Amino acid sequence: QSVLTQPPSASGTPGQRVTISCSGGSSNIGSNFVYWYQQLPGTAPKLLIYRNNQRPSGVPDRFSGSKSGTSASLAISGLRSEDEADYFCASWDDSLSGVVFGGGTKLTVL
């Protein structure tokens, strides 16, 4: 049981916009930044969004993040086949003194 809650799956057709939610609590998302990662099969997670809504260099602006209270969202616009992957949210948890993750959302591009 992950500390942060994500839907297990999401899907969309090429060109569509999809959003993935991440719900937490006051000790994690409510008081710390949210990070998002993309993980392709057999590879390490790749940083997609940091500090709620910032993109590292090289990440397309089709990817965007937002946070409100104890929840966050990742939006992917102009969906492409290569976006098919697992997506994880993460945040520091002040109570655990550790990183907490969402269970991951498997994105399928139909």
Partner 1 sequence: EVQLVESAGGLVQPGGSLRLSCAVSGFTVSNNYMSWVRQAPGKGLEWVSVIYSGGNTYYADSVKGRFTISRHNSKNTLYLQMNSLRTEDTAVYYCARLHYGDYAPDHWGQGTLVTVSS
The reply to whether 98 sits near partner 1 by the rule CB under 8 A is yes
> Which residue, 34 or 79, has its beta carbon nearer to partner 1?
34
| Interface with partner 1, residue 100, by CB under 8 A | yes
Say whether residue 45 binds partner 1 (CB under 8 A): yes
Tokens linked to 78: 């102009």
Using the minimum distance from each CB to partner 1, give the nearer residue, 12 or 104. Answer: 104
Task: Kindly give, in sequence order, each residue whose CB lies less than 8 Å from that of residue 20, ignoring residues fewer than 6 positions away.
Answer: 6, 7, 10, 73, 74, 75, 76, 87, 89, 105, 107
CB 55 within 8 A of CB 63: yes
Asked if 12 is part of the footprint of partner 1 (rule: CB under 8 A), the reply reads no
CA 31/CA 98 separation, integer angstroms:
13
Contact residues toward partner 1 (CB under 8 A) are 2, 32-35, 37, 44-47, 50-51, 56, 88, 90-92, 96-104
